[in-house]
């Protein structure tokens, strides 16, 4: 029993989807194990009831908006978000008080006949709603036809069973939390497919002035996970990309010559696969924001700002049949643009093309 146990029942706001309630239930159980009473409060968002493309609704930030409104109104005390869905700009009045230990951040392939990515025949249809995945799959040069899809896990996996797609790409973390790892035919190596910034991590948000809840949520915060996702999201914020741009990033705490350090890898590319930038940087675990900003500066110096402008779309003759449906979009940032201030000189940079 924790010494910070509160007397009131904590109201945890969640979307109604299976994944959202599973993630919220997992956090609720972490808090219950520490002696707190928690109840889930279901909240319907516009993204749940409007079938229009997410891009027209404001990206996946639309899912967080209704829950944040309930938080600010005092209707719930805390909320759990997939961190990759949260805008990089903080919400006034709210704070991400906990980022629990991260699930495996990699992407996963679910394909017909148990096939791996390399075993898919030329011309196979692979479904994804993510420009980031489109850009990296196209860059592999496997001759795949990439199809834009939207929907929950059942809907997307169902496309392989119906024959609409030969395979779909999903976040491994979501399948793990739903107990569906046995449906994965291949977990994709980050050397092929870097995940979205923050993928696999959960953000537990509450009102900034609710000191009691802020304090108790600190009990489930994981320092290594917070450092990693802070570096990834700092890179994204510095690029001013928003997740609708083809940006991938993965940070890991690794053993260096002088102890633990933070290793950050990133990808920015064109959705037709013709251009890709892959860069990496190592820095102190205690300075994740600086590390992310430094690596973003390297990408910008190497031409990242020219890859994801509004006009950047696959040509009509390309093998990529993709209409932007940013499954990881936040809508809070314009396309990539070089920062107006001077950029720091990067250190310990590995410039791998």
Rounded Cα distance between 68 and 79, Å, is: 8
Give the per-residue pLDDT at 230. Answer: 98
pLDDT in tens, 306-317: 774 444 443 333
**272 CB-side CA count, 13 A:** 11
Q: Is 286 in contact with 228 (CB distance < 8 Å)?
A: no
Give the per-residue pLDDT at 310. Answer: 40
pLDDT in tens, 255-276: 998 899 999 999 999 999 998 9
Question: How crowded is residue 347: how many other Cβ atoms within 10 Å of its Cβ?
Answer: 10
| DSSP secondary structure letters along 127-162 | EES-HHHHHHHHHTT--PEEEE--S-HHHHHHHHHH
Rounded Cα distance between 163 and 134, Å, is: 20
Q: Is 234 in contact with 241 (CB distance < 8 Å)?
A: no
The first and second tokens of residue 194, run together, are 């870097």
Does the annotation count 77 as an active-site position? no
**Among candidate residues 139, 135, 183, 177, the one with its CA nearest the CA of residue 158:** 183
Q: What is the value of pTM for the model shown? A: 0.82
Q: Which of 85, 107, 210, 325 is flagged as catalytic?
A: 85
Spell out the residues 6+ positions from residue 67 whose beta carbon is closer than 8 angstroms to its own: 13, 14, 15, 43, 45, 76, 79, 81
Per-run averaged pLDDT (10 residues), the chain, 353 residues:
69 93 97 96 66 45 82 96 91 97 98 97 96 95 95 94 97 96 98 96 98 96 98 93 71 94 96 93 98 95 72 38 35 33 36 31
Give the per-residue pLDDT at 85. Answer: 87
Rounded Cα distance between 6 and 53, Å, is: 41
Give the per-residue pLDDT at 169. Answer: 98
Q: Is 263 in contact with 350 (CB distance < 8 Å)?
A: no
Give the per-residue pLDDT at 330. Answer: 32
Give the per-residue pLDDT at 45. Answer: 59
Rg, Å, the chain Cα set: 20
How far does Cα 281 stand from its chain's mean position? 20
Give the per-residue pLDDT at 5. Answer: 64
């Amino acid at each position: 029993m924790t010494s910070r146990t509160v007397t009131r029942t904590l109201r945890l706001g969640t979307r109604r989807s299976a994944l959202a309630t599973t993630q919220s239930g997992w956090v609720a159980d972490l808090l219950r194990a520490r002696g707190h009473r928690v109840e889930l409060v279901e909240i319907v968002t516009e993204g749940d009831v409007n079938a229009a493309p997410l891009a027209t609704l404001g990206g996946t930030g639309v899912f967080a908006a209704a829950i944040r409104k309930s938080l600010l109104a005092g209707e719930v005390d805390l909320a759990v978000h997939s961190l990759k869905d949260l805008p990089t700009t903080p919400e006034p009045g709210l704070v991400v008080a906990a980022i629990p230990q991260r699930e495996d951040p990699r992407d996963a392939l679910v394909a017909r006949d148990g096939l791996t990515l390399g075993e898919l025949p030329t011309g196979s249809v692979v479904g994804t709603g993510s420009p980031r995945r489109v850009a990296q799959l196209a860059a592999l040069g496997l001759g795949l036809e990439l199809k834009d899809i939207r929907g929950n896990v059942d809907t997307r996996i169902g496309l392989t069973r119906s024959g609409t797609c030969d395979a779909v790409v999903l976040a491994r973390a979501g399948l793990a939390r739903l107990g569906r790892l046995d449906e994965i035919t291949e977990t994709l190596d980050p050397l092929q497919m870097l995940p979205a910034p923050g993928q696999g991590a959960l953000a537990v948000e509450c009102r900034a002035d609710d000191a009691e809840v802020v304090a108790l949520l600190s009990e489930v915060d994981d320092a290594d996970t917070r450092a990693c996702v802070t570096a990834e999201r700092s890179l994204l914020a510095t690029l001013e990309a928003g997740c609708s741009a083809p940006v991938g990033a993965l940070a890991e705490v690794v053993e260096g010559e002088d102890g633990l350090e933070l290793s950050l890898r990133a990808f920015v590319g064109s959705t037709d696969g013709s251009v890709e930038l892959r860069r990496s940087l190592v820095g102190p675990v205690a300075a994740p924001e600086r590390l992310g900003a430094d690596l973003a500066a390297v990408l910008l110096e190497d031409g990242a700002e020219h890859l994801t402008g509004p006009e950047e779309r696959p040509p009509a003759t390309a093998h990529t049949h993709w209409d932007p449906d940013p499954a990881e979009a936040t809508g809070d940032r314009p396309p990539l643009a070089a920062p107006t201030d001077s950029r720091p000189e990067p250190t310990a940079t590995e410039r791998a093309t």
